[in-house]
Amino acid sequence: MPTPPSLHTLATMYVIHHAHLMDLASRATVHPTPGEHRFCAAGPTCGVSDFQVWMHTLPPGAQTPVQQHAGSFAALVLAGSGKLLINGGPLRFQSPCTLVVPPNSDFQLVNNAAVPLLVVSVFTAEPTAG
């Protein structure tokens, strides 16, 4: 059986297995909320420099930190429902849907459902101070 790809060889791969990335994330990331899981599916660790793709699972009742990106932010909501807190008010959403946040906007995702919220987010610029 071949050994898992190293970080050096991921940049030349067309298929990146999430199990390897989740293993790296579990060793490197401390999550403030029990049951929260997230990992970078495509980004600097994989040799991608012009955008990032993240998988994020928020357990019921959890929320992301307030964040802001210099570029646009989009999130595909694959499962669950919640609130997008932006511009002083909540926008409710339910899967399947896409959330789009303009550049330089403070925002936060909140899981207000009884099931996990599964989101795939894509952005072109690193988060800035929120």
pLDDT digits over 69-122, tens only?
Answer: 888 899 999 999 999 999 878 999 999 999 999 999 999 999 999 999 999 999
- Give residue 53's pLDDT: 86
Kindly state whether residue 52 falls inside one of the protein's structural domains: yes
Q: How far is CA 94 from the centre of its chain?
A: 17
Inside any domain, residue 2 = no
Question: In total, how many domains does the chain have?
Answer: 1
List Cα–Cα distances, 89 to 32, 64, 94, 106, in angstroms: 24, 16, 17, 11
Averaged pLDDT score across all residues of the chain:
78
Note the pTM of the prediction, 2 decimals.
0.74
Its domain, for residue 11, covers: 7-128
Q: What 8-state DSSP symbol labels residue 46? A: G
Give the CATH number, domain containing residue 68.
2.60.120.10
